[in-house]
Amino acid sequence: MYEQSVLHIEQREIDRFNQLLQMAKVFQQVCREGTKLHPQFTNIIGDLWGAFYKQDVVFQDDILPQLETAKQIVASLLESELYVARHEITMGDDLLSVLCAMAMSEALKKWLEQNNVEHQRDENKRNAEYAENQVKEARRQMYDPKATEQEKERARTRKQFAERRLADLKKREERLRNEQSKTLDDLPSEQLQNMFEQAHENAQQTAKNVGQLAGDEGRAALMKVPLREQLALAEKVRYHPNLQEIADLAGRFRRIAKKKQKQKFKRTMERRNITLGREVERLLPMELANWSMPSSKLDFLRRFSEQQTFIFSTKGKDKRGKGPIIICMDESSSMSMMRAKSKAFCLALMMIAKKQKRDLAVVPFATTVGDVTLFKRGMSTTDQLIHFCDQFLNGGTNFERPLDAALTILNESRFQEADIVFVTDGASTLSETFLKHFQETKKRKQFQCLSVVLSTKYTKADAKAVECFSDKVLEVSDLAEAEDVFELGI
């Protein structure tokens, strides 16, 4: 708990930090472990948070002796050029200030562990016990009458390696007996400055990743997310390399999606929503005038019969608030190399759904169908995002089951006018009975299916099978090439 401060800080601000600590479970654990290494650890981190968060950072006149280390560390922060340059960014920002304090807590805890002799000896003892067990296990295998000569030779190699490791650990134990622990008072100022710089960079990157996962508006979107959920997502992103990659790729896909949506709007404006056809209710006024004038009537009738009259086009019109999206995403074993990209691709489509207030469903599939996730109006909770990004099926490929699941979703009232996006890098057979049922349902419900077929040097998708149920098939070698999906006038 944060209880004592070297700063002029109000009790409500101390309480605020303790609330944040309760929300961020990993941060709380780091402070708990750090306090075992230094009794004032949590107070130091609380003061660092105050320095990042508060507008005016002033020291108290009378500092308790046990808090001198905290003052030294905070003073070093305040004197750094980096702090002066970037304090304006962290000031008043709940998420960024906590992330900076979190990164500092990890750096200080790591330094204390590396310079605390008792901690080092405990770690050394655990490693020695593990090495001794390896020697015993290898010796047992060497004399096992059932073991082959090859297995015995591998056991001898493991035994030699473990014995060398054990000898090194014994030497380290002898050296540690003659060393003394260092405290935070011994932390070099230059190293402390490097910690500050790294902490700020880490915090900004984590906040950026959280924004990319949360939605198109980035940090602006986070203002609508409860702080508890922001911190939960931040901790997941910070300690989950796969989520970091997904967040980065989601940002790239969203930029592609935005560009594609803008291009679509520009093309629509250039052609002014005009095309050729003969739907009477969509004829341009000038064509109606041609029909009404004797001199141009015959020419009009000829062009009308040949569908060459100018009409207003419905293509390219904004489907804002209409047309839910159902994504069938292949998560078979062959897609594991594109796991992060496939998740990011879905998140970019979710951004479009969110902006256009369209419901979205994701149907992951391999041999079977995984957990179907529904995002009403493209909105998602933190738990939904984390679960969606964490899950991946692996296994073989079956097209019928996800398509059947999509048809089931189409029967729900919210998804009556949905279109399907089908993404795969595999092959699967479809029964004639199912194909007939699918096409009949498509005709009755008037939905469309846009498919993305991925063919790489490692996989060869069955485009012919996909064409059987698709209105349009995009054959690409990478999901980044499937940018036409983001026009989503499907």
pLDDT digits over 26-43, tens only? 999 999 999 999 999 999
d(C-alpha 199, C-alpha 105), whole Å: 9
Least-confidence region, from 36-50, 276-290, 354-368, 411-425? 276-290
Query: pLDDT band for position 314 (50/70/90)?
Result: low
Of 327, 346, 317, 365, the residue nearest 451 (C-alpha):
327
- Contact between 479 and 454 under an 8 Å Cβ cutoff? The reply is yes
**pLDDT (mean) for 160-164:** 93
Instruction: For residues 61-77, give the mean pLDDT.
Output: 93
User: Is pLDDT larger for residue 312 or for residue 93?
Assistant: 93
Residue 267 scores a pLDDT above 60:
no
- pLDDT above 50: residue 243: yes
Report the C-alpha gap between 43 and 46 in whole angstroms.
5
pLDDT score recorded for residue 85: 92
Q: What is the pLDDT of residue 278?
A: 85
Task: Grade residue 269 by pLDDT with cuts at 50, 70 and 90.
Answer: very low
Which of 397, 264, 405 is CA-nearest to residue 328? 405
Q: Read off φ and ψ for residue 315, nearest 5 degrees.
A: -70, 145
Does the structure show a pLDDT above 70 at 266?
no
**CATH class of the domain comprising 325-487:** alpha beta
pTM of the predicted structure, to 2 decimals: 0.72
- Coil/strand/helix, residue 427: coil
Q: What is the pLDDT of residue 317?
A: 42
Using one digit for the tens of pLDDT, what is the confidence trace for 284-297? Answer: 888 888 888 988 98
pLDDT number for residue 240: 86
**pLDDT score, position 217:** 54
Q: Please report which confidence band the pLDDT of residue 273 belongs to, taking 50, 70 and 90 as the band edges.
A: low
Number of neighbouring beta carbons within 10 Å of residue 143? 9
